[in-house]
Chain A
Amino acid sequence: MSNKEQQNIALEVTNLSIGYSTKKEQNVISKDINFALQQGELTAIVGINGIGKSTLLRTLGTLQPKLSGEIHINNISIERYKLVELASKISMVLTEPIATKNLTVFEVIALGRQPYTNWIGTLTESDKKKITEAISLVQLEELQHKKCYELSDGQLQKVMIARSLSQDTSIILLDEPTSHLDLYHKATILKLLKNIAHKTQKTILFTTHEIEVALQLCDKILILEKQNSNFGTPQKLIESNKFDTLFPKDTIVFDAANGSFKII
């Protein structure tokens, strides 16, 4: 790794173990996770169901505690950040629906400014500018005064992405942003994310089941396994045959030549 790359690391994970712990025992879902994300990169987390893709994302977003290992943001350990400081570093788009859909698109996006507003949440001119920027980046201008219950799933997903953009963080974590969407909308959302990552130099990390789409669009991919997960560019991962063992071989095989899976 060159010196310049070292400087631009936004998020670094070393020897991370994720899972759930109770008083009696630790239930480790995945361990020995190692990767480092550069600024302005779009990265996908792939892996079979139940391997802990969402758990990893929730752990990185401190929605649940890690079991062991280190997470560094801008070379500072994640534990050393206060809640509000962290909210200005990491924003999230979760799979759970928002609690009330009786909010307008603008209101939802404006809530992303909370880490920066005063005690009662007044929006300043600069807050409003950030919100307008986020809206135009995701092209929601025409929908901004609609209520969320009037929107389709794809539109709602865009609103949540715009909300994370208005939170103005260097890192955005998205949990399955393309599930429940058709192929066209999947591609639209992922191209949008790639565009945002490259244009605004944000580090974007998302989980997905669409490995074939991810292979075409992402800068890096993390293949999550029970242990010793693989991380790298799609090209390198294909070359070193890392996708061959992702699914049981008697059902699905990987075709390295055109980067797709075949059912047998």
Chain B
Amino acid sequence: MSLLLILCFGISISFGSVNIPFSDTFNAIFGGEIQKESWSYIIKNYRIPKALTAILAGSGLALSGLLMQTLFRNPLAGPFVLGISSGASLGAAILIMGSSTLSGIVTFGIVNDVTLAIASSTGSFLVLLAVMIVATKVKDTMALLIIGLMFGSITAAIVSVLSYFTAAEQLQQYVYWSFGSVGNLTWKQLALLGSIICFGIILSIISIKSLNAFLLGENYARSLGVNIKKQRFIIILATGLLAGGITAFAGPIAFIGLAVPHLTRQIFDTTNHKIIIPAVVLYGAILMLVCDTIAQLPSSIYVLPINAITSIIGAPVVIWLLARKKKMIF
């Protein structure tokens, strides 16, 4: 599976709007001679960061989906259900569209990648914080799930109100962000995203034992000596970091979080987190690279919105799983 990941990584950086021969791609990575200086620049500063972003986004979203599904004992849970992604969207919407609405009072016309990332991570963390406060008071995980959905509805409503009052130009900018993109990240942003994802993965790994106990239900987990409140907090924090961080930098990317854990369970036929966590991380990365390569439309100058590609691949997968197994089990 790791080999498959490396292969997909290779394919992903070999294709792009500019045709670069395979041999030169290879040389550019390993420091060999290449025909054109610009090719080297494209590969080093555009394609490799893009492929790495795809890997980080894919594995992070897939892992956060797995954590949600185990924590909420719900096969349909994912980062979107908790409202974390909607929180990020709200942050972005307020920055992009709110700045134009309030332009009479505040004049900051510079909406660049960095401020956008800051705004959306702030949004996702605010929602996460609200969900966590509720989580300490509400014991029922089903109620928490519904609260997450309500947060999603509220943010969606605010976004539509904002877009009603927004100039076409800003609206277009927001719509572009909501398409999702794993491109355009600088090495600095990539390092930040990478460390967020790594922290999330470490939190998940130390929770493996409790996650397995959660498979029996919370009361059984408690009778096995698991500190439910503490573990729930750690798992929610990990999910928030993974999903929030990725949405901030790559926009909302649908279905990876929901579909990858199910696909992985199909392949490995186990729910043991010791196996399923590394598998989901690898599998999410591979699927995201494939989606990104398709979105790139090799050799053409068009780049399709990645959110559309993941939905086109992800939605039928979920339907197929439902139809085949009648009842989705996790």
Task: Please list the residues of chain A having a beta carbon within 8 angstroms of any beta carbon in chain B.
Answer: 61-63, 83-88, 90-92, 94, 96-103, 107-108, 111-112, 114-115, 117, 119-121, 149, 167
Smallest CB–CB gap between A101 and chain B, Å? 6
Q: Report yes or no: A98 in contact with B224, Cβ–Cβ below 8 A.
A: no
Q: Which of B224, B226, B271 contacts A102 (CB 8 A)?
A: B271
Q: Report yes or no: B223 in contact with A90, Cβ–Cβ below 8 A.
A: yes
16 residue pairs from A and B, CB less than 8 Å apart: A61-B223, A83-B225, A87-B223, A91-B223, A94-B217, A96-B219, A98-B215, A98-B217, A98-B220, A100-B73, A100-B215, A100-B329, A102-B330, A108-B216, A111-B212, A121-B274
Q: B206's closest neighbor in chain A, by CB?
A: A119
* Chain B residues closer than 8 Å to A112, beta-carbon distance: 224
* Chain A residues closer than 8 Å to B184, beta-carbon distance: none
* Chain B residues closer than 8 Å to A86, beta-carbon distance: 225
Q: Mark B306-317, 1 if CB is under 8 A from A, else 0.
A: 000000000000
* Chain A residues closer than 8 Å to B329, beta-carbon distance: 100-102, 149
Smallest CB–CB gap between A247 and chain B, Å? 30
Which residues from 191 to 218 on chain B have a C-beta closer than 8 Å to any C-beta of chain A? 205-206, 208-209, 212-217
Given the known interface contacts A117-B209, A121-B274, A149-B329, the answer about A99 and B223 at a Cβ–Cβ threshold of 8 Å is no
Q: A104's closest neighbor in chain B, by CB?
A: B270
The 9 A-B residue pairs with the shortest CB-CB distance, nearest first, are A87-B225, A84-B225, A99-B73, A121-B209, A99-B217, A114-B224, A92-B223, A102-B329, A98-B216
Residue B272 lies at the interface, judged by CB distance under 8 Å to chain A: yes
Q: A115's closest neighbor in chain B, by CB?
A: B225
Smallest CB–CB gap between A89 and chain B, Å? 10
Q: For chain B, give the interface size range.
A: 20 to 34
Q: Report yes or no: A111 in contact with B213, Cβ–Cβ below 8 A.
A: yes
CA A119 – CA B207 in complex, angstroms? 9
Residue B227 lies at the interface, judged by CB distance under 8 Å to chain A: yes
Q: Which of B215, B223, B227, B265 contacts A63 (CB 8 A)?
A: B223
Q: Report yes or no: A87 in contact with B224, Cβ–Cβ below 8 A.
A: yes
CA A84 – CA B223 in complex, angstroms? 9
Interface centre among B208, B215, B216, B226 (most CB of A within 10 A): B216
Q: Report yes or no: A83 in contact with B227, Cβ–Cβ below 8 A.
A: yes
Q: Report yes or no: A120 in contact with B223, Cβ–Cβ below 8 A.
A: no
CA A115 – CA B217 in complex, angstroms? 16
Smallest CB–CB gap between A30 and chain B, Å? 21
Q: Report yes or no: B224 in contact with A111, Cβ–Cβ below 8 A.
A: yes
Q: Mark B227-249, 1 if CB is under 8 A from A, else 0.
A: 10000000000000000000000
* Chain B residues closer than 8 Å to A111, beta-carbon distance: 212-213, 215-216, 224
Smallest CB–CB gap between A73 and chain B, Å? 14
Q: Report yes or no: A114 in contact with B217, Cβ–Cβ below 8 A.
A: no
Smallest CB–CB gap between A42 and chain B, Å? 20
CA A107 – CA B273 in complex, angstroms? 12
Given the known interface contacts A117-B209, A119-B209, A149-B329, the answer about A99 and B225 at a Cβ–Cβ threshold of 8 Å is no
> Given known contacts A83-B222, A102-B265, what 20 new A-B pairs fall within 8 Å (CB)?
A63-B223, A83-B225, A86-B225, A88-B225, A92-B219, A92-B220, A92-B223, A96-B219, A99-B214, A99-B215, A111-B224, A114-B209, A114-B213, A114-B226, A119-B206, A120-B205, A120-B209, A120-B274, A121-B212, A167-B224
Given the known interface contacts A98-B215, A99-B215, A100-B329, the answer about A120 and B224 at a Cβ–Cβ threshold of 8 Å is no
Q: A88's closest neighbor in chain B, by CB?
A: B225
* Chain A residues closer than 8 Å to B330, beta-carbon distance: 100, 102
Q: A119's closest neighbor in chain B, by CB?
A: B209
Given the known interface contacts A114-B225, A121-B208, A121-B274, the answer about A94 and B73 at a Cβ–Cβ threshold of 8 Å is no
Q: B73's closest neighbor in chain A, by CB?
A: A99
* Chain B residues closer than 8 Å to A101, beta-carbon distance: 329
* Chain B residues closer than 8 Å to A88, beta-carbon distance: 225
* Chain A residues closer than 8 Å to B216, beta-carbon distance: 98-99, 108, 111
Interface centre among B73, B214, B271, B274 (most CB of A within 10 A): B271
CA A86 – CA B209 in complex, angstroms? 18
* Chain A residues closer than 8 Å to B225, beta-carbon distance: 83-88, 114-115
Q: B69's closest neighbor in chain A, by CB?
A: A100
Given the known interface contacts A99-B73, A100-B330, the answer about A120 and B208 at a Cβ–Cβ threshold of 8 Å is yes
Smallest CB–CB gap between B19 and chain A, Å? 46
* Chain B residues closer than 8 Å to A108, beta-carbon distance: 216
* Chain B residues closer than 8 Å to A96, beta-carbon distance: 217, 219
Q: Mark B268-292, 1 if CB is under 8 A from A, else 0.
A: 0001101000000000000000000
Smallest CB–CB gap between A110 and chain B, Å? 9
Smallest CB–CB gap between A102 and chain B, Å? 4
Q: B230's closest neighbor in chain A, by CB?
A: A83
* Chain B residues closer than 8 Å to A92, beta-carbon distance: 219-220, 223
Interface centre among A85, A90, A99, A101 (most CB of B within 10 A): A99
Smallest CB–CB gap between B220 and chain A, Å? 7
